């Protein structure tokens, strides 16, 4: 595949991401607190989480292997280490801490997420196998330094918020409570805000089309999700903090 064809494929994927964003603004994805009947067969929540999140690593490294390996760059290796660390945690560690009480999610959600991760894994793997070239001193470039700072900040916010939410639910509990303190004083979904920051940082430090695309798709999925969570909290809890935003501090 030439660079021109790769760009065309990626821009088509971005266009689909925009349509997905518009759809998710109207229809809440039916998993988690928004789970509902009418979406076909169900699967255990933890198993579904592992399947849909681990897919991106399988496709990423399969693409790299079939392409003959990475372009020779320490920057490329570091970028993939950061990406892999996130998804190892997300797919193999985090699900085991969930206190979901036997909850399930629709198989269609798992399959759609696997499709999403298949495409992203391919685009990232192909780019870093064929097109990625970085100057010798890229790690001293302002884009790299600012990007890795944003990535690490986002990862910290994301992980801290996720585990705070898990600890809110005591063993045996399945209900929901109002989260308070830290970033939750400002946002209903600081975990989503942190993840968007993560990929924005990786897009900046890599200065690459696939990670810019990945960031766009992440926002297209998580912004509507955060808005739905925010509306759900406000409808369920009369004392929900009125000044709290959904996903971006002081903005949205």
Each residue's pLDDT tens digit, 31-43: 667 666 677 888 8
Q: What mean pLDDT comes out for the span 48-66?
A: 94
pLDDT, tens only, 77-96: 999 999 999 999 999 998 88
Instruction: Compute the distance between CA of residue 73 and CA of residue 146 in angstroms, rounded to an integer.
Output: 20
pLDDT of residue 28: 80
pLDDT of residue 101: 63
Q: What is the mean pLDDT of the chain?
A: 91
Q: What mean pLDDT comes out for the span 205-231?
A: 95
3-state DSSP assignment of residue 104: strand
- CA-to-CA dists, residue 86 to 31, 79, 94, 162, angstroms: 22, 11, 10, 13
pLDDT of residue 96: 82
pLDDT of residue 173: 66
Q: What mean pLDDT comes out for the span 155-172?
A: 87
């Amino acid at each position: 595949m030439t660079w021109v064809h790769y760009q065309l494929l990626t821009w088509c994927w971005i266009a689909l991401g925009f349509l997905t964003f518009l759809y998710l603004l109207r229809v809440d994805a039916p998993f988690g607190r928004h789970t509902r009947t009418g979406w076909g067969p169900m699967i255990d929540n933890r198993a579904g989480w592992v399947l849909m999140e681990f897919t991106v690593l399988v496709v990423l490294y399969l693409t790299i292997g079939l392409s003959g390996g990475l372009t020779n760059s320490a920057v490329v290796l570091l970028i993939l280490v950061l990406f892999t660390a996130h998804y190892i945690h997300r797919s193999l560690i985090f699900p085991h801490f969930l206190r979901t009480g036997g909850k399930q999610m629709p198989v269609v959600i798992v399959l759609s997420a696997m499709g999403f991760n298949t495409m992203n894994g391919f685009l990232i793997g192909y780019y870093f196998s064929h097109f990625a070239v970085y100057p010798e001193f890229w790690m001293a470039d302002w884009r790299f330094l600012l990007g890795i700072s944003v990535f690490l900040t986002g990862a910290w916010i994301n992980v801290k918020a996720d585990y705070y939410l898990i600890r809110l639910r005591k063993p045996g509990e399945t209900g929901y409570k109002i989260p308070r303190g830290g970033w939750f004083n400002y946002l209903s979904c600081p975990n989503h805000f942190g993840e968007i920051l993560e990929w924005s940082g990786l897009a900046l430090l890599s200065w690459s089309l696939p990670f810019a695309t990945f960031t766009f798709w992440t926002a297209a999925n998580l912004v509507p999700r955060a808005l739905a969570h925010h509306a759900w909290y406000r409808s369920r809890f009369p004392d929900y903090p009125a000044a709290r935003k959904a996903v971006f501090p002081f903005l949205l």
